[in-house]
Chain A
Amino acid sequence: MHFFFGRKKSASNAKERLQLVLIHDRTDLSPTELDALKDDLIATISRHIEIDPAAVTINVAHDGRSQRLVADIPLRSTARRRARF
Chain B
Amino acid sequence: MTAKVVTITSGKGGVGKTTAVANLAVALAGRSQKVTCIDGDIGLRNLDVVMGLENRIVYDLVDVVEGRCRLRQAMIRDKRLPELYLIPAAQTRDKTAVSPSDMIRLCDELRPEVDWILIDSPAGIERGFKNAIAAADRVLVLTNPDVSAVRDADRVIGILDAEGKGSPALIINRLNPTLVKRGDMLSVEDVLDLLAIDLIGIVPEDENVIVASNKGQPLAMDSKSRAGQAFQNVARRLMGEKVPFLDLDAPGLLQRLLGRM
Contact = CB atoms under 8 A, between A and B. Distances in A.
B152 to A, nearest CB: 10
Interface string B139-182: 00000001100110011011001000000000000000000101
Q: Is the interface of A mostly helix, strand, loop or mixed?
A: helix
Given A11-B190, A65-B161, A18 B183 contact: no
Nearest to A22: B154
Interface residues of B, number: 22
A44 interface: no
A10 interface: yes
Nearest to B161: A65
Interface residues of A, number: 17
Given A18-B151, A22-B154, A65-B161, A10 B184 contact: yes
A26 B184 contact: no
Interface stretch (B74-82, B91-99, B192-200, B205-213): B192-200
B185 interface: yes
B147 A10 contact: no
A15 B154 contact: no
8 contacts: A10-B184, A11-B180, A14-B190, A15-B194, A17-B147, A22-B194, A25-B154, A25-B158
Interface of B: 146-147, 150-151, 154-155, 157-158, 161, 180, 182-187, 190, 193-194, 196-197, 258
